Amino acid sequence: MKALLSKAPGGPETLTLEEVPDPLPGEGQVVVSVHACAINYPDVLIIEDKYQFKPPRPFAPGGEIAGVVAAVGESVTGWSVGDRVIAVTGHGGLAEKIVVGASQLFRLPEARSFEEGAALLLTYATAIHALLDRGNLREGQTMLVLGAAGGVGLAAIELGKAFGATVVAAVSSPEKEAAARSAGADRVLVYPRAPFDRDQSKALSDAFKAAVGARGADVIFDPVGGEYAEPALRAIAWEGRYLVVGFPAGIPKLPLNLTLLKSCDVCGVFWGAFAARDPEANAVHVDRLFRLWDEGRIAPKVTEVFSLADAGRAISRIAARQAIGKLVVSLA
């Protein structure tokens, strides 16, 4: 089978497409024939050895897949060859076949494409865990979403609206503004690109405050970090919740006096660890996501599809923060 391999730390240009042996399932595992693999920001980090998990090389990046069960290992129940499935695997998805623990699988409805299925779990499951478990978002509250045109940002917009919030989206270009509005954002702010001097940082904070209203944002969903974090935090409401989701713009240093003055919480969001520690609670969230999908209240936004040989270009677009919605590699 073919796999796009990382054999040494580096950028997407270091990945090589090679023939490797087909995998075999162990006990409690299945082999999935991968039809689609979504690209996410962890794929940028993992091939550079900057992610919290460092798999032994050579390995294929790609942590979110959809496909068909090709083989079933011992003691596996509930899954059969031919079943359509989706899973978050961490890595290994940019290959024609992958071994997955049976407990990691979710069933992909027949009416949904593999590309859509590959684009669902990581972003929407992260967002629903962030908003409900960490942000305690409630109907009638106001939420500010940074990086709102990325995959997880659009998921946060849709889920925020489904849960009855007023959603203010912050993006970096007019093209991304259109995507955020299409996802249902009530208001959209187009912010400038960092770096910021002191006056520019204050101006951005003032813009956030104007966009969310005098009361402030009850929940701030931040998958961006960097120099955008402090201006956003200054726009938080009394007893608001600041959700730390990711850092493609860099790891920020927040002045903790702001958390005292607003009596607010800064909450880390690590969906992968949550799903591993409490799979039952995660399964409840995923079931709710499928219901919302059936109702048309959420829908993965696949904006570009790449071949396996061209998957490095998708990773490059994520690294450059050029992507709108989800980028997916098709292996079918």
CATH number at residue 137: 3.40.50.720
Picking from 275, 236, 249, 239, the residue whose alpha carbon sits closest to that of residue 106 is 275
Joined together, the tokens standing for residue 311 give 């998957």
Same domain, 152 and 91: no
> Comparing 320 with 59, which gets the higher pLDDT?
59
Q: What is the pLDDT of residue 176?
A: 95
In a domain, 8, yes or no: yes
* Three-state secondary structure call for residue 218: strand
Report whether pLDDT(321) > 90: no
203: three-class secondary structure by DSSP:
helix
Percent of the residues in the chain that have a pLDDT greater than 90, as a whole number: 96
Model pTM score: 0.94
Residues 244 and 137 in one domain: yes
Q: What is the CATH number of the domain that holds 64?
A: 3.90.180.10
Instruction: Tell me if 285 is assigned to some domain.
Output: no
Average pLDDT over residues 207-217: 97
Number of domains in the chain: 2
For the cut 90, the answer to whether the pLDDT of residue 45 exceeds it is yes
Q: Residue 193 carries which DSSP code?
A: P
Residue 53: pLDDT band (50, 70, 90) is confident
- 152 pLDDT band (50/70/90 cuts)? very high
pLDDT 10s digits, 304-319: 999 999 999 999 999 9
Tell me which residue range forms the domain holding 133. 122-272
In whole angstroms, what separates CA 20 from the centre of its chain? 29
The per-residue pLDDT for 267 is: 97
What average pLDDT score do residues 209-214 get?
97
Average pLDDT over every residue of 14-39: 97
- 295 in a domain, yes or no? no
- The whole-angstrom separation of Cα 303 and Cα 71 is 31
In a domain, 143, yes or no: yes
What mean pLDDT value characterizes the chain?
96
Q: Is residue 292 part of a domain?
A: no
Examine the domain organization and report whether 12 and 70 are in the same domain: yes
Asked if the structure places residue 313 within a domain, the reply is yes
3-class DSSP state for residue 308? helix
pLDDT of residue 249: 87
Confidence of residue 52 (pLDDT cuts 50, 70, 90): confident
Whether pLDDT at 322 is above 90: no
Does residue 332 have a pLDDT over 90? no
Q: Name which of 272, 264, 265 is nearest 246 in CA terms.
A: 272
Q: Kindly state whether residues 80 and 32 are assigned to the same domain.
A: yes
Alpha carbons 151 and 159: distance in angstroms, whole number: 12
Shared domain for 143 and 262, answered yes or no, is: yes
Q: Where are the beta strands (DSSP E) in the chain?
A: 2-5, 16-19, 29-39, 64-72, 84-88, 97-101, 106-107, 142-145, 166-171, 187-190, 217-222, 236-244, 265-268, 302-307, 326-330
